[in-house]
Amino acid sequence: MTPRRALLPFLVALACFVLPLAAVARHGRDAVSGITWGYEEELLRVCAPMGALCDVLQQRLSVSLGSYSPDGFGRGERLAIEHYYVRWTGYDRALLRHQLSAAADRGRWPMLTVEPWPEPGVDAKDLLVRIAAGAYDSAIAQVCADVRGLGAPVFVRWGHEMEFVTGRYPWAQADPQVYVAAYRHFVDRCRLLADRVFYVWSPVGNKELAAYWPGRPYADYVGVSVYGFPEWDLDHHGRVRSFDEIFAEKYERVRGYDRPVMIAELGVTGSRDHQAAWLRAAARRFDRHALLRSVVYFNAVDSRAAWPAHYRVPDWRLDRSLFSFRFAGR
């Protein structure tokens, strides 16, 4: 082997690490810890000769962790995404702008889940039709203006868990076409008002999701929800399911859309030891899913209305020693 050929694997490996670092430096505020921005195709071209190792390097460089922590817990950790929820009518605009700005100042990408609740006194069954017809354009304009004012990239997740038609969310309706029309209307209107927005289409991950798919132009990411609730599992599956068992079937349903995948809501309840073991096992499986790019923990108590009365309200919160970048085994 000539000296030049002997150096080739080393040079390619070096490029796979140096190139992302250069891209981060070049984009500055547009790249935060663990989130790739703008160099994915270039990275693939450079490290492709390494075959399977290239896939491993890409995954290691691009999987990011985040949290929804309404009490501020976890904000001192090494996280890449801060998640917020907002009802799109009547919210505190100054507070939202402060939250988004504070997340960006901490070097993180904000993710905003926009919940399209109807106006007071309006029949919820007409919500999606009215959205598609423009009745809520002022609400869209307001929230997208607040996102635009940040001047930094933002994930926007609108009308989440739409295929789980239980009555919890008025936008989760049994007519997929009317949901798709409303979702597309929101994205189309918001794109006129704000750039640097990445839209997250985010079903629960159930088998009905395919009917609600809005098309690739309307989804920069695909999000799913993954929760480990031992009592529910025992009643419905006869065993406590692992992260991998829950996520694998959801991943199979969305990977065909050829979009980066995000676990937009991750949670596990139970004893501290159970949470720790479940999360450690989950972390060992992240790299098995090539499209998985982000995992956002839901560090809060769930809503009573979300569960039948005979179940205790799940508390997904983690002990501080568990709520750490380290739980991903990185």
Q: Which of 5, 7, 12, 4 is nearest to 48 (CA)?
A: 12
Alpha carbons 152 and 196: distance in angstroms, whole number:
7
Picking from 25-39, 183-197, 267-281, which range would have the lowest pLDDT averaged per residue? 25-39
Q: Are residues 140 and 159 in the same domain?
A: yes
147 in helix, strand or coil?
helix
Q: Are residues 22 and 49 in the same domain?
A: yes
Q: Which of 46, 62, 78 corresponds to the end of one domain?
A: 62
Q: Are residues 129 and 233 in the same domain?
A: yes
Q: Are residues 106 and 4 in the same domain?
A: no
Per DSSP, 11 falls in state H
Q: What CATH number did the domain enclosing 113 receive?
A: 3.20.20.80
179 in helix, strand or coil?
helix
Alpha carbons 129 and 315: distance in angstroms, whole number:
35
Could you list the residue range(s) of the whole structural domain that residue 261 is in? 63-328
Reading the block at residue 227, the tokens are 């929760």
6 in helix, strand or coil?
helix
Q: Are residues 43 and 176 in the same domain?
A: no
Overall number of domains in the chain? 2
pTM metric for this prediction? 0.81
User: pLDDT at position 88, please?
Assistant: 95
Q: Are residues 52 and 82 in the same domain?
A: no
pLDDT in tens, 289-301: 999 999 999 999 9
pLDDT at 276 exceeding the cut of 70:
yes
pLDDT at 188 exceeding the cut of 70:
yes
DSSP characters over 227-266: EE-HHHHHHHHSSPPPHHHHHHHHHHHHGGG-S-EEEEEE
Q: Are residues 150 and 287 in the same domain?
A: yes
Q: Which of 187, 184, 206, 203 is nearest to 195 (CA)?
A: 187
Q: Which of 102, 94, 157 is nearest to 298 (CA)?
A: 157
pLDDT at 19 exceeding the cut of 90:
no
| Tokens 């929804």 found at | 68
| Tokens 């065909």 found at | 256
User: pLDDT at position 15, please?
Assistant: 40
Q: Are residues 49 and 69 in the same domain?
A: no
pLDDT in tens, 124-174: 899 999 999 999 999 999 999 999 999 999 999 999 999 999 999 999 999
Q: Are residues 39 and 119 in the same domain?
A: no
